[in-house]
A and B are shown apart, each in its own frame.
Chain A
Amino acid sequence: MIKYFLIVNKQGQTRLSKYYEHVDINKHTLLETEVVKRCLSRSNEQCSFIEYKDFKLIHRQYAALFIVVGVDDTETEMAIYEFIHNSVEVLDEYFSRVSELDKMFNLDKVHIILDEMVCRIVETNRERILAPLLILYVRNQAW
C-alpha cells in the first residue's frame, strides 16, 4: 500500500506531498526532511529502494526533482518504481515538458492527476487520467 507521495527538489524543499495514511501534520516536515536526506545521500550506482523505519522508500530522480514514494512491504518495489515514471509521463503530457515551476504554479492540477492515479495504483491509462482535468479546464475557459 502506498503511504505517501512526495515531490522534492534537490535543495530538499518539498514541492508536493500527499499522504494516504494519517500522519500527524506536525510530523510531516520531520519525516520529509529525513526522507529527503536519505534520498539525496544515494548515488546513481546505488539502488533506488531504501528501507526506512518499517516501510520502504522508492525514489527516482528527474533532473532536479526527486519523487519519493513510501510503501509498506505489500507492494513490489519495481512496480512502484515504474509507476513513478508513469506519473511523470502523465504530468509531462499535460504540461508538455513538465518542470518544477509547472508543478509549483499548478499544484491543484497535479493533485487532481495524482488523485486519479493513486489510492492504490488505480489508473495508469494516460488519457483517462487526464480526462477529468481536461473537462475542468475546458469549463474554466468557458467561464
Chain B
Amino acid sequence: MALTVVSQIFPREMIPAVLPLIEDKLQHSKEIIRRKAVLALYKFHLIAPNQVQHIHIKFRKALCDRDVGVMAASLHIYLRMIKENSSGYKDLTGSFVTILKQVVGGKLPVDFNYHSVPAPWLQIQLLRILGLLGKDDQRTSELMYDVLDESLRRAELNHNVTYAILFECVHTVYSIYPKSELLEKAAKCIGKFVLSPKINLKYLGLKALTYVIQQDPTLALQHQMTIIECLDHPDPIIKRETLELLYRITNAQNVTVIVQKMLEYLHQSKEEYVIVNLVGKIAELAEKYAPDNAWFIQTMNAVFSVGGDVMHPDIPNNFLRLLAEGFDDETEDQQLRLYAVQSYLTLLDMENVFYPQRFLQVMSWVLGEYSYLLDKETPAEVIAKLYKLLMNDSVSSETKTWLIAAVTKLTPQAHSSDTVERLIHEFTISLDTCMRQHAFELKHLHENVELMTSLLPVDRSCEDLAVDASLSFLDGFVAEGLSQGAAPYKPHHQRQEEKLSQEKVLNFEPYGLSFSSSGFTGRQSPAGISLGSDISGNSAETGLKETNSLKLEGIKKLWGKEGYLPKKESKTGDESGALPIPQESIMENVDQTITKKDQSQVLTQSKEEKEKQLLASSLFVGLGSESTVNLLGKADTVSHKFRRKSKIKEAKSGEASSTHNMTCSSFSSLSNVAYEDDYYLNTLHDRGDKELKTFSLNSELLDSESLTELPLVEKFSNCSLSTPSLFADNSMEIFHPPQSIAASVAKESSLASSFLEETTEYIHSNAMEVCNNETISVSSYKIWKDDCLLMVWSVTNKSGLELKSANLEIFPAENFKVTEQPGCCLPIMEAESTKSFQYSVQIEKPFTEGILSGFIRYHMMDTHSAQLEFSVNLSLLDFIRPLKISSEDFGKLWLSFANDVKQNVKMSESQAALPSALKTLQQKLRLHIIEIIGNEGLLACQLLPSIPCLLHCRVYADVLALWFRSSCSTLPDYLLYQCQKVIEGS
C-alpha cells in the first residue's frame, strides 16, 4: 500500500530518502511488491529522471523478471526513456521483439487473456516501444518485421481490443522503416476500419488514415468516398477527425473546397478550443495555397470574423505582413490591397454588424495604409467611417488606438478635415492617456501639414528606414539635463556594484526624477537598440503605444558585420526616431501642455537617449573613472592577497616554483577582475555603440584600467604584460597565460630534471633537500597528481666520480602504499649528474601527518658501498583532491553519507565574507567549491584514491559553521582539523 501511495503522490524532495528502500523492494519475493516498486520508480523517473539514473540497470533486471506483471510495469519506464532517447536502447529491440513474440504466441498464463486475446495492453505497449525504436532505422526495423506480421495476422478476431492492437500495429508499421508487404497489410486493415459500420471503428480508421496519409497520400484516394461520407456524418467528432485528415492532404487544387468545409464546421462549432485550432489551420492553408486574391481576402475575413478575439495573435500579424510585404509581383500586390480595402469598406458600410476587435484592428491598419489606392472614395470618407467606429462604445481602447493611427495616416491625404478636427477635439480630453497622447500627436501634425506629409509617406510601410540608434539627436537634451544637475546615467549593474562596494561615489538621491528615470533602465533589455522593445518595456511610455503595435507588422532587424543595424518601418521611425527633431518637439509640446505625468514620460523617454548618449560620449569618461574606482577597490584586495602570498612564498623557499599555484590563483582573481571588465565592455558594447569610435573609447578605457592594474602586478611583469593584450583581445583565454607562466616557472625550478616537464600540468611542490653528504645530495618534490601523490627524489652526484648501482628504497609505512615507478634502480650514475626516482604514494587510511622514510644506497668506484637515510613529512592534504561534482550530485551524495561532523569556527577578520573564506579553503586544502548560495557554501573533495568528503558551510556573523559528511568515519575529523588550522591561522 505504501508503494502505491508512493507511485501516486510523492514529493520530489523525498526521493533520495526512500530510494534505497524501494530499490530493495525490487528484489522482494512477492511479484506484486516488485511490480509496485517498479511503478514507484517509474513515478520517480517522471518527476526527477536524474535522480534514478544510476538504477537504470535495475530496470533491465525488471524487464527480464520472470513475472509478467513486473515486466509489464517496467515497460512504462522504457517507453518513457525511449521516447526521450531512442538511440540508447536499440540493443533492447531484440528483447522487446522476443517478449512480443511470446505474448502474441500465447505463451503467457491463460489468466492474462482478455476475451481470449493474450494481454492486449501489453501488446499495445510493446508495439508502441517498437515503433519508437524502429523509427528511421532500417536495421532495427528489420528485426521487427516478423513479429509485426505475426501480430497483424493474429489480431483478426472480431473484438474491440484486437482493433486497438491492429491500430497500434498499423501505427508502428508506418513509423518504422517501411516494408512494402507490411504496408500493404496495414493499408488493408485501415480499409477495414474505415468501412466498418461501427462508429468507433470508423473513428479509429480515420485517425489511422490521418497518420498514414502523411506518408502515402494515395491511400486517401482509395477511401475517397468514405471520407466524403464521413464529412457529412451527423457526429461532429467524426467530422472533426475528417477535417483533420483533409487538412493533411490539402494542396493548391483542393484548397478551396477543403477550406469551405472547414469554415462550415467552424460556423457550427461553439467550442473555443476547436475554433482556435481550426482557425489556425485555415489561415495556414489560405496563406499557403490561396488560388486568388479575392478568395484569400474573403477567407481571411471569415477567419477574422469567426475566430475573432480567441485566435492566435500571429494570424492577423502574418496577414498584415503578407499585405505589406507583398509578393514578387507589384500589380498583384496592389490588387490584393485594393481588394482588401474595398472589402473592408463594404463590411464597414453594413449597419449593426459587430466585428471582433482583432478584425477591426486589421481593417483600420489596412485602411490607413492603403486607402490611397481607392479612386472613388476620398480619404475623408474613409476617415468619416473610422470616426464612426471610434465613437462606437463597443470598440475597445486598444482598437481605438489602431483607428486613430489609421486616421493619422490618412489625414495628410485628406484636405477637408472637419472630421479630423472634431476627432482631435473629442479625444484631447479623453480620459485614456494613450488616446490623449495620440490625439495630441495628431493635432500637432495636423497643424504642420508639410511635416506631416514627409512623416507619413504613402505606401512606405515596408521600406526600411535607418534609425539613429545612438540617439545622438538627444545629446542636447541630455546635456541640458546634466547641466541642470541631473545625475549621469549609470547602467544598472554598475549601480549595484557601487552599492556592493559601499562606496559613496555619487549621491543621486536628491534628483528624484532622474533616479526614477534610470530606474526604468533596469527593465530595459541590455540590447537596448530595438527601440520598440524598449518602449514596450516601459509602462509609462503609453504615448508610443501605436508604434508598439505597429511594430508587429513591418519591422526588420538586420544584422551587420559591425553589430546590428536596427532598421524600422517608416511608421515606427517617424514616431520615435527617424525624424528626431519634430518628435522631440512634439514630445516637449505635449509635456508642456499637459501634465507632469507626461513630463516624466519625456524623462523616461530621455533616459534611453541619455543612456546611449552617455555611453557614447561624456559619461564614458565618468564610467571609466567609476570603474577604476571599483577596480581599485577590488585590486586592493587582490594586492592584499598577493602580498600575503608573497610572504608565504618567502617563508617557503623563495623560488617561484613553490608558489606557482598560488600565483595561479591570484592570477585568477586578477583575471576575475579582467572578466568583469570585459563584462562591462561587452555590455556597454551591447548597448548600442557598435561604431568604431566607441570601440576606440573602449580601448582607451581598457588602457586606463590596465594601467591602474599595472603597478599592482608589476612584480610579475610578464603577467601584467599579458593583461593588456588580454583586454584588447576580449578573449576568454584568460587562464591560458598563467599556465604558460606556470610552465616556465616550473621549468626553472625543475633543476633540469627532464621528467618534470612532462608533469608540469600537475601542481608540484618545491624541491626540498632531504639529506646530503660529500658525494650526493637528495632532494624531494611532491607532485600532486590527479590519482595519486607522486614523490620524486632527485639524487645529484656532487662528486666527480661515477656511482654504481645507486638504489633508493623506501621503508614500508603503515599508512601508505608505495609503488615504485620504473627506473628506480640505476646501474650507473655519472659524475655530477642528477637522476630522479619516482614513487607513487597512495594512502591506506586517513591520518594527519605521516613520515615516509627511506634510504639511498650506492657504490662508489672504489666499491665501498654507502647508505644515506632520509625522511619526508607527508600530510593528509597531500592526498586531498578537489571533487568536481554538481550541486545535484552533492545533494545525492550528502544523503548517502552517514558520518558527519559539525563544528563552528571563528573566522579572522580578513576573510569575514563567505567567498573569501571558501577561496582560502579552495587554495589551501584543494577543496572544490560547488556552489555558493547566499550565506551557505558547498564544497567537495576526495581523499585518494576515492573517498569523497562533502562540506557544507554557513556563515553567521564571524562564525563559520562547518559540516562535513563522508563515507569514511575518520576523514571528516581530519579535514575539520585542517580547515580549522587554515581558517584560524590565516
Interface residue from B39, B42, B76, B161 paired with A78 (Cβ < 8 Å): B161
CB distance from B38 to the nearest CB of A (A): 10
Bound: A128/B112 CA distance, A: 9
**B234 and A128 contact, CB distance less than 8 A:** no
Interchain CB contact under 8 A, A53 and B160: no
Chain A residue contacts of B69, Cβ below 8 A: 122-123, 125, 128
* A interface residue numbers (CB < 8 A to B): 20, 45-54, 76-79, 81-83, 85-86, 115, 119-128, 131-132
B344 within 8 A of A: no
- B204 adjacent to chain A (CB < 8 Å): yes
Is B273 in the interface zone, CB < 8 Å from A?
yes
Q: How far is the CB of B635 from chain A (nearest CB, A)?
A: 53
Residue among B121, B122, B199, B238 having the largest count of chain A Cβ atoms under 10 Å: B121
Q: Is B237 a contact partner of A123 (Cβ separation < 8 A)?
A: no
List the 8 closest pairs (A to B, CB-CB), nearest first.
Answer: A78-B164, A79-B164, A47-B199, A82-B161, A46-B235, A121-B121, A47-B203, A47-B200
Instruction: Let me know if B200 and A76 touch, CB within 8 A.
Output: no
Interface residues of B in 147-194 (CB under 8 A from A): 160-161, 163-165, 167-168
CB-defined A-B contacts under 8 Å, sample of 14: A45-B234, A47-B199, A47-B203, A49-B200, A51-B237, A77-B204, A78-B164, A78-B200, A78-B204, A82-B114, A82-B120, A119-B7, A122-B76, A132-B32
**In the assembled complex, B133 has its CB within 8 A of some CB on chain A:** no
Taking a contact as CB atoms under 8 Å apart, the answer to whether A76 and B235 are in contact is: no
- The residues of B that contact A125 with a CB separation of less than 8 Å are 68-69, 111-112
Query: Would you give the shortest CB distance from B121 to chain A, in whole angstroms?
Result: 5
Find the B residue at minimum CB distance from A53. Answer: B273
Q: Which of A45, A53, A83 contacts B121 (CB 8 A)?
A: A83
The answer to whether B783 has its CB under 8 Å from any CB of chain A is no
20 further contact pairs, Cβ within 8 A, besides A47-B238, A49-B200, A122-B76: A45-B234, A46-B234, A48-B200, A51-B273, A51-B274, A76-B124, A78-B160, A79-B165, A79-B168, A81-B164, A115-B8, A119-B39, A121-B121, A121-B125, A122-B69, A123-B69, A124-B114, A124-B120, A127-B111, A128-B111
> Would you call B273 and A54 a contact (CB within 8 A)?
yes
The CA of A100 and the CA of B23, in the complex, are separated in Å by 40
Q: In chain B, what residue has the closest Cβ to A80?
A: B164
Instruction: Confirm or deny: B45 has a beta carbon within 8 angstroms of a beta carbon on chain A.
Output: no
Nearest Cβ distance between residue A17 and chain B, in whole angstroms?
14
- Judge whether A47 and B202 touch: CB under 8 Å: yes
Which B residues touch A122, using CB under 8 A? 35, 39, 69, 72-73, 76
Chain B residues with CB below 8 A from A78, complex form: 160-161, 163-164, 167, 200, 204
Q: Give the distance in Å from the alpha carbon of A67 to the alpha carbon of B30 in the complex.
A: 32
Question: Which size bracket describes the interface of B in this complex?
Answer: 35 or more
Tell me the smallest distance from the CB of B940 to a CB of chain A, in Å.
35
**Smallest distance from the beta carbon of B212 to chain A beta carbons, Å?**
15
Residue B240 interfacial (CB < 8 Å): yes
**Distance to closest chain A CB from B901 (angstroms):** 41
Which of these, B8, B39, B42, B119, contacts A124 with CB under 8 Å?
Answer: B119
A73, chain B: closest CB distance, angstroms: 10
Chain B nearest CB, measured from A22 CB (Å): 9
Question: Please, how many angstroms separate the alpha-carbon atoms of A119 and B124 in the complex?
Answer: 16
Q: B interface vs A, CB < 8 Å?
A: 4, 7-8, 32, 35, 39, 42-43, 68-69, 72-73, 76, 111-112, 114, 119-122, 124-125, 160-161, 163-165, 167-168, 199-200, 202-204, 207, 234-235, 237-238, 240, 273-274
A122 to B122, CA, bound (A): 9
In the complex, chain A residues whose CB is within 8 Å of the CB of B42: 119
Neighbouring B residues of A76 by C-beta, 8 Å = 124, 164, 167-168
A77–B199 Cα distance when bound, in Å, is 13
**For B199, what are the chain A residues with a Cβ–Cβ distance below 8 Å?**
45-48
**Are the CB atoms of A81 and B168 closer together than 8 Å?**
no
Minimum distance in angstroms from B597 CB to a CB of chain A: 40
CB distance from A93 to the nearest CB of B (A): 12
Shortest CB distance B280–A (Å) = 14
Chain A contact residues, majority secondary structure: mixed
Closest beta carbon of chain B to A47's beta carbon, Å: 4
A2 to chain B, nearest CB (A): 12
A residues less than 8 Å from B112 (CB atoms)? 124-125
Q: How far is the CA of A39 from the CA of B910 in the complex (A)?
A: 73
Q: Which residue of A lies closest to B39 (CB)?
A: A119
List the A side residues contacting B114 at CB < 8 Å. Answer: 82, 86, 124
User: Once bound together, how far apart are the Cα atoms of A53 and B125, in whole Å?
Assistant: 25
Closest to B72 in A: A122
In the complex, chain B residues whose CB is within 8 Å of the CB of A79: 120-121, 124, 161, 164-165, 168
In-complex Cβ contact of A128 among B32, B120, B161, B167 (8 A): B32
Return chain A residues, CB-CB under 8 Å to B120. 79, 82, 124
CB contacts (< 8 Å) of B202 on chain A: these are 47
A78-B164, A122-B72 known; A49-B203 Cβ under 8 A: yes
Which residue in chain A gives the minimum CB-CB distance to B171?
A: A76
Max chain B Cβ within 10 angstroms of own Cβ: one of A51, A53, A85: A51
- Min CB distance A119 to B, Å, is 6
Closest to A47 in B: B199
B146 to chain A, nearest CB (A): 23
Chain A contacts for B119, CB-based, 8 A: 124
Chain A residues within 8 Å of B234, by CB: 45-46
Cβ contacts under 8 Å, A52 to chain B = 273
Instruction: Tell me, rounded to whole Å, the shortest Cβ–Cβ distance linking A16 to chain B.
Output: 15
Closest CB of chain A to B413's CB: distance in Å?
48
* A54: B residues at CB distance < 8 A: 273
The chain B residue with its CB closest to the CB of A118 is B8
CA distance A48 to B161 in the complex (A): 14
Interface contact B238-A82, CB-CB below 8 Å: no
The smallest beta-carbon distance between A142 and chain B, in angstroms, is 18
Among B164, B165, B167, B274, residue most surrounded by chain A Cβ atoms (within 10 Å): B164
Chain B residue numbers with a CB within 8 Å of A124 are 112, 114, 119-122
Residue contact A77 to B240, C-beta cutoff 8 Å: no
B161-A47 in contact (CB<8A) = no
Find out whether the CB atom of A126 lies under 8 angstroms from the CB atom of B161.
no
A31 to B: closest C-beta gap in Å: 14
Cα(A86)–Cα(B72), bound, Å: 17
| A49-B237, A120-B76 known; A115 vs B121 contact (CB < 8 Å) | no
Query: B240–A51 contact, CB under 8 A?
Result: yes
B76–chain A nearest beta-carbon distance, Å: 5
Q: Whole-angstrom distance from the CB of B852 to the nearest CB of chain A? A: 60
A81 near B200 with CB under 8 A, answer yes
Q: Closest CB-CB distance, A49 to chain B, in whole Å? A: 6
